[in-house]
Amino acid sequence: MIKVKFEELSKEEFTTFEKNHPYGSFYQTIGWGELKKRNGWNYYLVGLKENDKILAGAMLLEKKLPMGLSFIYSPRGFLIDYLDESLLSTFTKEIKKFARKHHAIFVKIDPYVQLRERDINGNIVENGFNNEKAITNLKQLGFRHNGYTLNMEDLQPRFAFALDLEGKTTEEILKDMESKTRQLIHKNEKNGIITREITIDEVDKFKNVMQHTADRRGFIDRPLSYYKNMLTDLKEGAKVIIAEIDLEDYNKRLENEISASQKIVEEKEAALNDPTKKINPDKTKKKIEQEKANIARLTKKLDEGKALLQEHGKVLTLGGIIFMLHGSEILSLFGGSYEEYKDFLSPYSTYYHMIRYGVEHGYKKYNFYGISGDFQNKKNELYGLYDLKRGFGGHVEEYLGEFDLVTKPFMYHVYHIAFALYGKLKKMKRKRG
């Protein structure tokens, strides 16, 4: 048995340990703890130390419950070698003592540890890494595994999509993308869609996007103060990127394209009526019809663009995403877009903005984050999200999933009944609203 001491850690020593740990995550940072503290949680920094060396650690979030009870959540924790049975056993025993001291009915973890190596299509890589032993070790210590979920039922998604950036240029990354994705990125650039980081003074623009998205998808959005606090507490670790379009420039481009097509039509029609011109009449007529159809399409877009300009002014916000920067990784946390402007396909531009940023600033991985693990079922409502992200190139990441270390079995049962009932009531309320 390892002879160590379990104790609360200072912010400085925990931060140093977390930054250098292979399973470190922004969810295990002081900034995230401070953000959660603003929203009714307590947080504690604990670790196992042998002399002055930290062997394992975790940020533990505590949420108070009625009757003096609580539950504890270590998001994407613990920071430990899950294959080291002795270390894991010692740490678990201490965590259980800590939980009982705080009258916690259970401790939840969802380790930032990949289960099996998977390729771009979600297939398990032959002879790739396999961390199933980590699940076995946790179960043997009394953790309840909440299953191999597929559709983001857990607090954190069990499947994600990621792109390796290390040693690559943006040109190489573009080349490796699906042609459709590459074309859409270039199309957005041509249409004048720009992406930029906004400050806390402009975060209401992102809030408006998220509120619209929440209303459309049926979830409850966070208040504006939450987003402001996120940027305050996480500082340089959080970036809000929005996609916008200059409608005056957009409309001018459409007008130029219409004029160019009209000129082609005039030239082709003149050629048809000029006996001195040696042309293929059928091909010429076909070209004229194609250009007229293009003019009709562009004219419709121009009319829509003029209406948007009159309603919203020169600059129109299309959507936005919050990105987390931690260690060598950039992670796309969550975002949204306006349904009425979906044809602009702004997420392609926003994702690409941060991919470029990652390459330029030496990040090793870009994590698109949550996707469904149901890779073959195109009828799955989440399949489109996976398909969009896959177009950028990369691979699927599968994590271990959620585990509960139960300290009060009866109250744990009661809690889950109450939580399920609360969820149903919220769903009914959203439907009525």
Give the pLDDT confidence score for residue 427 in this predicted structure. 56
- Give the mean pLDDT of 390-395: 97
pLDDT digits (tens, 9 = 90+) for 125-175: 999 999 999 999 999 999 999 999 999 888 999 999 999 999 999 999 999
CA 215 to chain centre: 19
Give the pLDDT confidence score for residue 432 in this predicted structure. 45
Give the pLDDT confidence score for residue 148 in this predicted structure. 96
pLDDT digits (tens, 9 = 90+) for 331-366: 999 999 999 999 899 999 999 999 999 999 999 999
Look at 7-21, 146-160, 409-423 and tell me which has the smallest mean pLDDT: 409-423
pLDDT digits (tens, 9 = 90+) for 168-224: 999 999 999 999 999 999 999 999 999 999 999 999 999 999 999 999 888 889 999
**Cβ pair 110, 363 in contact under 8 A:** no
Q: What is the rounded distance in angstroms from the CA atom of residue 238 to the CA atom of residue 330?
A: 10
Query: Order of strands, edge to edge, in the sheet holding 193-198?
Result: 114-117, 395-399, 159-164, 365-370, 329-337, 315-326, 238-246, 193-198
Give the pLDDT confidence score for residue 424 in this predicted structure. 64
- Identity of the amino acid at 328: S
Tokens of 10: 């200072």
Q: What is the rounded distance in angstroms from the CA atom of residue 192 to the CA atom of residue 189?
A: 5
**Mean pLDDT, all residues of the chain:** 94
- Give the mean pLDDT of 317-342: 95
pLDDT for residue 423 is more than 70: no
Phi and psi at residue 159, in whole multiples of 5°? Answer: -120, 140
41-56: string of b/e by CB count within 10 Å (b at 16+)? bebbbbbbbeeeebbb
Of the candidates 396, 61, 86, the residue with the CA atom closest to the CA atom of residue 385: 396
Quote the DSSP letter at residue 130: B
Give the pLDDT confidence score for residue 428 in this predicted structure. 52
**Cβ pair 402, 155 in contact under 8 A:** yes
Give the pLDDT confidence score for residue 137 in this predicted structure. 98
Q: What is the rounded distance in angstroms from the CA atom of residue 123 to the CA atom of residue 121?
A: 6
Of the candidates 44, 94, 38, 39, the residue with the CA atom closest to the CA atom of residue 72: 44
pLDDT for residue 107 is more than 70: yes
Q: Collapsing DSSP states into helix, strand and coil, what is residue 336?
A: strand
pLDDT digits (tens, 9 = 90+) for 259-274: 999 999 999 999 998 8
Give the pLDDT confidence score for residue 212 in this predicted structure. 95
Query: Order of strands, edge to edge, in the sheet holding 143-145?
Result: 5-8, 41-50, 53-64, 70-74, 104-109, 403-406, 143-145
Give the pLDDT confidence score for residue 79 in this predicted structure. 98
Q: What is the rounded distance in angstroms from the CA atom of residue 250 to the CA atom of residue 188?
A: 11
Residue 430 pLDDT class (50, 70, 90 cuts): very low
> What pTM, to 2 d.p., does this model score?
0.89
